[in-house]
Structure 1
């Protein structure tokens, strides 16, 4: 009865863990409601934190000292975000873009036509075509002018501000081409004012400093004329050329003193999105928000800012440098990693074909032991490259003159240190020793980063970039792939060392902790990844004790993942709209008829990533090596699966979780590629070792523990390629197939209980009547049981000397 109830009980446990992880939310302060009577949005296109200093921009410096600051990601529907796109996105509260042609590597030089038929307002004749372009041809469904439509009256100063303040039909309520001599009356005529303070452009430091100085002087006039009880938001509203950068965000007003800016859309202190500015203005004014139209969330002011002002203001500038360096280094790193692993996979094929010792006097010469040892170390180093690159971001390599070379040197040192640690770790000589060490080390590195706020993920080479605007906290795509692979491999390694009946429980215990870390909003903040990992974990737990992945077991796994998704969806939909996660927002969009945009964006992201990402090459190369080499009769992986069913379960669960996580998250094969960078080298190494021990035999009558892997043992009696006594078919294999190394020495008499036993060499003849240990029964006389042994264990007449 307990065996029948075990799958159901484990499924319930996994579901409970998953829903618990996804439902819990960290306490956050609520957006400040109706804290201002007026809001002034001042935009300076291209302004970065490196342009702000006490001498050239004293007004901006004082605002940064007294108010809340952050790094602004200016993502829009086009990349780069040109000034007109940035102003349009500000007014839409969603990712928008101006229609028309633009150069491939920059922004159009043409201005925006602004008509002023009277002396009060203005009109944008192109606004209607821009609205149609965003509503019908772009996948975000943005409605330009949504911010102005949410208030009764708005003021625009300058052409860029007119783009942001224009209503969907093109009307600007009040407009001035520039700041008047006394801006008090104009800024106090409406509750919302949008001011264009100019553009900071170019790469010449002197030219940028001059433009920033002019914008700072205009900002001083705005602050001098600001209405009472007003909130002033200053933003570097856009890029001006490739590549994208992080920009200035400052909030100054009641309740915004000396803090970090953040929002629910980023979940990271010190980071804000351009689409967050419109909800922030409406929240401060106490006005309702068009939830269906706004993608951003109101900004918050949080604590934790350094007391030293120079240190606090330099932190966003350092983040901008790191993000810019990450863009340059990341592509080269993954391209190099894919190339090295492809070459290593090609080199593994002849080693695998010659790894099995020859059983007779003829056959291919064995590979020298030194070559095999070097190949194993290279495989370990390849598997540790991604976690080493993640750990390298603890060193500020981006501050150097040659950041790429510094990053490469730090990563190489960490790879060498990790490889040495694995090589000299206890149990390295065992078949599963390297797998356990590499998986455990990777889980430790990624897990500690997640537990400490995922600081190495943000703007990291193997993490995610704030410039992309997709993720700012938790686990990224590469981190998810590596973490789920290492966690499941660690669970499989531990499960293999316990009795068969306890293996599903061990898999659930270790994998359940991984689900908690991935799905928790406090930690990994990836509900889709947690759901995918739940499915993979259930598959692994179902087959960890042996047997095939039957329809029943697959249904249990699918039901568990579906139950986690449904449970979280119910909890998420009960939250306020501003606090919902990605799954809750998607279901809400399905309910109001806008879910098609999300599906279209996910499909487009999958296709773009599939075509352009180097991780796709890693995924495809790993799949080819597994299918055309490792899974072949000479490849050794099937033999490994038969001897170690818990490892087979972990690899199967990793494949399921990685595929689901990538497709559902819009990352195509990136999650699979990241997982393959760890799993495939370890599978190849374990296959090499299993093949190297394929001709070994243990002494007849020797009893071996299921959990004994210190010497590569395979449990009682060993196992053959088709599965051992613990394998997928439940049948026996050649005794001691997992025994390490060549065996030498003459046979000896049956030892007393507890006495150490020396293995019997292949080709030696046992005296008649010697007891033979069978995996499925008691000891029998060798002379009477040879016919009942598996065929792989019998020896031909050419291998046995005549009596």
Structure 2
């Protein structure tokens, strides 16, 4: 019988470790599953690219632009992000990026207001081709950029390229400036013109301004396109693109592909991972794939586009009106900065208000101790802290309502966010369990996880072009989990894990943390959900640290070693499987490791460093630094109570440590600076401060002996009960 009890006891000891191993295995499997790309092979004998700088979907009209409208109806369509290596993609940058297949810049000049007119020098010494003498210098300029772009890489992949117009010449020129065949304008006789080269690029002009002048420019481009279509060869692919912006206001532009295998549907690519969205850098690999040619190794920054079903046949029902993604993206870019700056100001003001409350929250014995703060003031502060922590999840929910269509989008967005914050705060405040110490913290964290998690499971529609998400105009992400969502989700998941772990016995706390962490890793890293394998690696490290110290105590060397081994096991396993795929099919982690192994990872590391530098001037950095300072005060000051919170709730300390590792690691690996940490701090720190206030209020609590009272001498003064036989008492 004793032997049976011993076996059962041994099994109970090993069950937590078995569950941890199974969770790690499930996380690894969830990260390695990938959807099919749907990229096809050769589909055309000729490709004609017709580009118009500044062309947007709201320029199209069935009466004014019948040719463009017909092509949009017959072909596959999408929103084109024209990101380049320049802060503002002017026409020369856009055409150059098209020809390089990578983020390029014509010159490093600053742009203020309108882009200057294109004026490249085009020489025609032989009346057949042309020469751009400036291009070698442009190539050297791009050598200093962190993208590894080589202008002319597309033309170098072809035996012959024909260009019409100056913009097309920039795209069709080889790195040393030679254009194989060139016409400054579209010839009068187009018979057989597009049969001479497999790749033809036509500049339809620049569309800029507004009103009647803009409509006239679009009509002229439509007329030129009609002539091109009339002369296109058989079995040809027609690509129509708004290749750039024309001023400092960035927008989404037209992308149409029409030809064999490109009828109807949405354009997409592995680079965007979102149906209906492609990048300007995706066009070059798409052209070569359609022609059945291999692209240059390591030079293209985009992925081959493909077609997926699911769009309405009419452009009006898929790209205009309530479906105008450009309108939402432009409105989002105008609101986002003010939203985060306002949130940072609110939280800094709250932290300044809370400091004196924390200093007076602990009750003191004796007549000289400071008076306790007003209960009403404390309760109001708690409500404000809860509201502050709910603000980013509420902003994400606000994007479910089309506020960007209103005449005053900023005011409508603010009203919606305030309404969601008020509703969430009221629900938490009037909950029957509100008086429990960890209830506000755990509930807000759970709300954050649910809001972001449901959004991921439904295609991340709220984050796309959302204030609490990412912008397709910026071109850094188009699908899955953004930096803000990552910070909110990871902080919420680990804090919930810490709160739940406090309810179980110590041996089972690592299991709770690993189960919640494994769920977070899958949600973040799965290509079907968060599509952020680099973020998943950072989250894995945070989960391992949290699990190691969830039972209490310090992060000793053995614990650190086991956490490191577990984190490396998941990371190396995923990376090894990702490296087995073909280069075009690899995720961002596999692609980076492949470049690291062959010695070409320098540009990627330089891009990450540059991106981190640009992210430091964000209001999210203020949120991160303010949150860190507030936590430092709460933990290390004489009046802070965070150490007491951690002593009473060691799993919560583990959650905070794991969150810190995860968000800082994600910021470094993704080149996001403190954006991830700022989002996490905006959700978690106000509620940690609230929890600290509550613990300080009860720091002097103890079991009172009979006769003890809170008299005028202060708490803990024992009232002396007179004895009838005591003469001195009378």
> TM class by shorter-chain length?
over 0.9
Q: How many residue pairs end up in the alignment?
A: 711
Alignment of 1:77 with 2:82, yes or no, is no
Pairs within 5 Å for 1:442-591: 442-591=448-597
Q: Deviations over 1:310-340 (max 9, x none)?
A: 2113179610011101111000000000011
Q: Specify the alignment match of 1:673 in structure 2.
A: 678
Alignment of 1:339 with 2:384, yes or no, is no
Residue 354 of structure 1 aligns to a residue whose secondary structure is helix
Contact between 1:695 and 1:762, CA under 8 Å: does it hold in 2?
A: no
Name the CA distance, whole Å, in 2 between partners of 1:100 and 1:419: 48
Q: Deviations over 1:135-164 (max 9, x none)?
A: 2x1111111111111111111011110111
Name the CA distance, whole Å, in 2 between partners of 1:263 and 1:511: 30
Q: Deviations over 1:9-33 (max 9, x none)?
A: 566445423322321112332x221
Pairs within 5 Å for 1:294-313: 294-307=300-313, 309-313=315-319
Q: Deviations over 1:289-330 (max 9, x none)?
A: 113111111111101112555211317961001110111100
Contact between 2:365 and 2:716, CA under 8 Å: does it hold in 1?
A: no
> Are residues 3 and 538 of structure 1, via their aligned partners in 2, closer, same or farther at CA, if it must alter by over 3 Å?
farther
Name the CA distance, whole Å, in 2 between partners of 1:521 and 1:797: 60
Q: Deviations over 1:228-273 (max 9, x none)?
A: 0000000000011111100000011011111000000000000000
Name the CA distance, whole Å, in 2 between partners of 1:27 and 1:421: 43
TM-superposed deviation, 1:469: 0.8
Pairs within 5 Å for 1:373-388: 373-388=379-394
Alignment of 1:613 with 2:626, yes or no, is no
TM-superposed deviation, 1:592: 3.4
The alignment's C-alpha RMSD in Å is 2.1
Q: Deviations over 1:776-796 (max 9, x none)?
A: xxxxxxxxxxxxxxxxxxx99
Name the CA distance, whole Å, in 2 between partners of 1:62 and 1:681: 55
Task: Identify the match of residue 260 of structure 2 among 254, 260, 267.
Answer: 254
Name the CA distance, whole Å, in 2 between partners of 1:320 and 1:570: 39
Q: Specify the alignment match of 1:150 in structure 2.
A: 157
Q: Deviations over 1:647-669 (max 9, x none)?
A: 11111111111111111110111
Q: Specify the alignment match of 1:788 in structure 2.
A: none
Pairs within 5 Å for 1:186-205: 186-202=193-209, 204-205=210-211
Q: Deviations over 1:549-587 (max 9, x none)?
A: 112212222222222221111111111111111111112
Contact between 1:40 and 1:232, CA under 8 Å: does it hold in 2?
A: yes
TM-superposed deviation, 1:285: 0.6
Q: Specify the alignment match of 2:54 in structure 1.
A: 46
Alignment of 1:184 with 2:191, yes or no, is yes
TM-superposed deviation, 1:433: 0.9
Q: Specify the alignment match of 1:367 in structure 2.
A: 373
Alignment of 1:164 with 2:171, yes or no, is yes
Residue 184 of structure 1 aligns to a residue whose secondary structure is coil
TM-superposed deviation, 1:110: 4.8
Name the CA distance, whole Å, in 2 between partners of 1:761 and 1:83: 82
Contact between 2:97 and 2:171, CA under 8 Å: does it hold in 1?
A: yes
* TM-score (norm: length of structure 2): 0.94
> Are residues 529 and 304 of structure 1, via their aligned partners in 2, closer, same or farther at CA, if it must alter by over 3 Å?
same
Task: Identify the match of residue 30 of structure 2 among 21, 24, 30.
Answer: 21
Alignment of 1:66 with 2:71, yes or no, is no
Q: 5+ unaligned residues in a row in structure 2: which ranges?
A: 1-9, 723-730
Q: Specify the alignment match of 2:431 in structure 1.
A: 425
TM-superposed deviation, 1:509: 1.2
Q: Specify the alignment match of 1:625 in structure 2.
A: 630
Q: Deviations over 1:31-60 (max 9, x none)?
A: 221111110011000001111111211111
Contact between 1:156 and 1:174, CA under 8 Å: does it hold in 2?
A: yes
TM-superposed deviation, 1:466: 0.5
Contact between 2:708 and 2:717, CA under 8 Å: does it hold in 1?
A: no
Q: Specify the alignment match of 1:226 in structure 2.
A: 232
Task: Identify the match of residue 37 of structure 1 among 36, 45, 49.
Answer: 45
Residue 167 of structure 1 aligns to a residue whose secondary structure is coil
Contact between 2:20 and 2:515, CA under 8 Å: does it hold in 1?
A: no
Alignment of 1:118 with 2:126, yes or no, is yes
Name the CA distance, whole Å, in 2 between partners of 1:106 and 1:80: 10
Q: Specify the alignment match of 2:727 in structure 1.
A: none
Residue 194 of structure 1 aligns to a residue whose secondary structure is strand
Q: Deviations over 1:588-619 (max 9, x none)?
A: 22233321111111111112212x11111111
Contact between 1:270 and 1:316, CA under 8 Å: does it hold in 2?
A: no
> Are residues 249 and 296 of structure 1, via their aligned partners in 2, closer, same or farther at CA, if it must alter by over 3 Å?
same
Alignment of 1:682 with 2:687, yes or no, is yes
Contact between 1:236 and 1:247, CA under 8 Å: does it hold in 2?
A: yes
> Are residues 481 and 174 of structure 1, via their aligned partners in 2, closer, same or farther at CA, if it must alter by over 3 Å?
same
Q: Deviations over 1:317-368 (max 9, x none)?
A: 6100111011110000000000110010000000001111233344111111
Name the CA distance, whole Å, in 2 between partners of 1:504 and 1:14: 12
Task: Identify the match of residue 696 of structure 1 among 698, 701, 713.
Answer: 701
Contact between 1:36 and 1:254, CA under 8 Å: does it hold in 2?
A: yes
> Are residues 761 and 438 of structure 1, via their aligned partners in 2, closer, same or farther at CA, if it must alter by over 3 Å?
farther
* TM-score (norm: length of structure 1): 0.86
Pairs within 5 Å for 1:762-801: 801=720
Q: Specify the alignment match of 1:282 in structure 2.
A: 288
